[in-house]
Amino acid sequence: TEKQTWSQRFESTLHPAIARFNASISFDIELIEYDITGSQAHAQMLAHTGIISPEEAKQLVTGLDKIRQEYRQGKFQPGIDAEDVHFAVEKRLTEIAGDVGKKLHTARSRNDQVGTDTRLYLRDQIQQIRQHLREFQAVLLDIAEKNIETLIPGYTHLQRAQPVSLAHHLLAYFQMAQRDLERLGDVYQRVNISPLGCGALAGTTFPIDRHYTAKLLHFDQIYANSLDGVSDRDFAIEFLCAASIIMVHLSRLSEEVILWSSEEFRFVTLKDSCATGSSIMPQKKNPDVPELVRGKTGRVFGHLQAMLVIIKGLPLAYNKDLQEDKEGIFDSVNTIKACLEAITILLREGLEFSPERLAQAVTEDFSNATDVADYLAARGVPFREAYNLVGKVVKTSIGAGKLLKDLTLEEWQQIHPAFAADIYEAISPYQVVAARNSYGGTGFAQVRQALLAARTQISAE
Ligand code: ARG
């Protein structure tokens, strides 16, 4: 095998199994384009500060461009010998550009380099995930707009509680996604800080200009302390935290879709394009997409936990443990993107709400009982008294196999003289929903306002 970059200081070569164990090239190749971009900025800075000549910088930048091209064409596939993407690129550069390639690593360490690459990668990915979130929000809004007056049972403890507008229910997920977007925006600010120029840990003897590279790479700030700059992975923890919260939200929605599509609920039917069958039970149609999203949530939580544990015992500054940060970050990014894409497709074209079934569902229970109590309370009966009275009515109605809407006016008036003929209207599902017109409630007027605000929010992004 080829000699390691650092082999001069060593008597013998690395054990092949240890070389494989040590190498990160199989996964950090994902960083290659960011590594090239970072190196190009570094080379330009070296010329800007007179550490190398402008001609040398040009050769370096051109050579790096060539590697990018080779990589995109599938022609650059470094093996284990290269150890990691940083060595791989440097080696190839020296092959392409000759001895000048050996100047690239002046005033730099792989420690500030890998930190730079990871941040450039994450910065890019955060923006992509935010775009996926916006598309997810847009489809939620589209469905909500068509279903302002579609009613759906609302639950607490998974027991029928009070009916709500389907739009209101979907807008709850819109709001979660909005916080996710904002949270990623916050994380971005801590990702977008440049460690380049921190060197191995202590800075460098060369008259570098860290602000210059930061500017070229569009970093908002630079790390003030070199030890902190090379060993900080807070930004990765924060990202994985935001990623985990996104997965929490997607998983909750998935769980609802799974419930809704079951025979017990029948609130939605899955279209063939987004459902799968069973190998043995010919009648089955399974909600694999939301199940997978719910299941994949576990791996993102796991990566967050792993990252916290990787960092917690590390003395300053760089330790090889930090190489373990990458796969969790990459897998979380890929998982989140795949889940957002799948769930957006599922909502857009894989799911059909069943209006008849929903209309039936909101009339078959006692979820208008609060409204009877509110009716009396609005007519001067202290709420707790009204509540107790309605509790008794529910009990006797269940015994008699009736719903509240089946009681006669005489029966109502025996319960309390304040009841009048308008009680029937007051406890109809439509009115029950319409009447919850407090700010942020499910009343149709509120939902219309909320939809309007959501549309404005989306188009302002
Ligand atoms: N592959 C390494 C990583 O991902 C790059 C930094 C290596 N630095 C070192 N001093 N060994 O962390």
- 451 C-alpha to ligand 1 centroid (Å): 49
Residue whose CA is closest, atom 12 of ligand 1?
323
- 322 C-alpha to ligand 1 centroid (Å): 7
Angle (CA) 285 287 292, round 5°: 140
CATH superfamily ID and name for 111-148+164-207+218-358: Fumarase/aspartase (Central domain) (1.20.200.10)
- In ligand 1, the atom with minimum distance to the C-alpha of 200 is 10
Asked whether 111 lines ligand 1 (CB < 6 A), one says yes
- 195 C-alpha to ligand 1 centroid (Å): 14
Q: What's the rounded mean pLDDT across residues 111-116?
A: 98
Judged against a pLDDT cut of 80, whether residue 218 lies above it is answered with yes
* C-alpha 423: how far from chain center: 46
Judged against a pLDDT cut of 60, whether residue 1 lies above it is answered with no
Write out pLDDT tens, residues 249-307.
999 999 999 999 999 999 999 998 888 888 888 888 899 999 999 999 999 999 999 99
Return the higher-pLDDT residue of 274 and 309: 309
Report d(CA 307, CA 316) in Å as an integer. Answer: 16
Asked whether 322 lines ligand 1 (CB < 6 A), one says yes
Domain 7-106: state its class: mainly alpha
Is 168 among the catalytic positions?
no
Write out pLDDT tens, residues 416-428.
999 999 999 999 9
How far from 279 is each of 52, 262, 266, 282, 356, CA to CA, in Å? 66, 19, 23, 7, 31
| Among 111, 196, 231, 326, residue to substitute to test ligand 1 (most atoms within 8 Å of Cβ) | 111
Question: Do residues 85 and 116 lie in contact, with contact meaning Cβ atoms separated by under 8 Å?
Answer: no
Catalytic residue among 26, 53, 262, 278: 278
Please report, for the chain, the start and end positions of each structural domain, with discontinuous segments joined by +: 7-106, 111-148+164-207+218-358, 361-460
What b/e string do you get for 267-280 counting C-beta neighbours within 10 Å, with b at 16 or more? bbebeeebbeeeee
The model's confidence at residue 6, banded by pLDDT at 50, 70 and 90, is confident
Report d(CA 224, CA 197) in Å as an integer. Answer: 11
Question: What is the predicted ipTM?
Answer: 0.97
Q: What's the rounded mean pLDDT across residues 302-316?
A: 98
Q: What's the rounded mean pLDDT across residues 122-135?
A: 98
Residue whose CA is closest, atom 2 of ligand 1?
323
- 246 C-alpha to ligand 1 centroid (Å): 30
Asked whether 168 lines ligand 1 (CB < 6 A), one says no
Write out pLDDT tens, residues 339-366.
999 999 999 999 999 999 999 999 999 9
Question: Do residues 433 and 163 lie in contact, with contact meaning Cβ atoms separated by under 8 Å?
Answer: yes
Catalytic residue among 157, 273, 438, 459: 157
At 423, the amino acid letter reads I
| Among 25, 27, 34, 84, residue to substitute to test ligand 1 (most atoms within 8 Å of Cβ) | 84
Asked whether 83 lines ligand 1 (CB < 6 A), one says no
CATH superfamily ID and name for 361-460: Fumarase/aspartase (C-terminal domain) (1.10.40.30)
- 83 C-alpha to ligand 1 centroid (Å): 9
Asked whether 114 lines ligand 1 (CB < 6 A), one says yes
Q: Note the pLDDT of residue 62.
A: 98
Is 278 among the catalytic positions?
yes
Q: Which two tokens stand for residue 380?
A: 């001067």
Question: Do residues 353 and 147 lie in contact, with contact meaning Cβ atoms separated by under 8 Å?
Answer: yes
Write out pLDDT tens, residues 149-193.
999 999 999 999 999 999 999 999 999 999 999 999 999 999 999
Asked whether 68 lines ligand 1 (CB < 6 A), one says no
Asked whether 318 lines ligand 1 (CB < 6 A), one says yes
Asked whether 110 lines ligand 1 (CB < 6 A), one says yes
- 142 C-alpha to ligand 1 centroid (Å): 47
Q: Note the pLDDT of residue 278.
A: 81
Q: Which two tokens stand for residue 237?
A: 């923890």
Residue whose CA is closest, atom 3 of ligand 1?
323
Asked whether 323 lines ligand 1 (CB < 6 A), one says yes
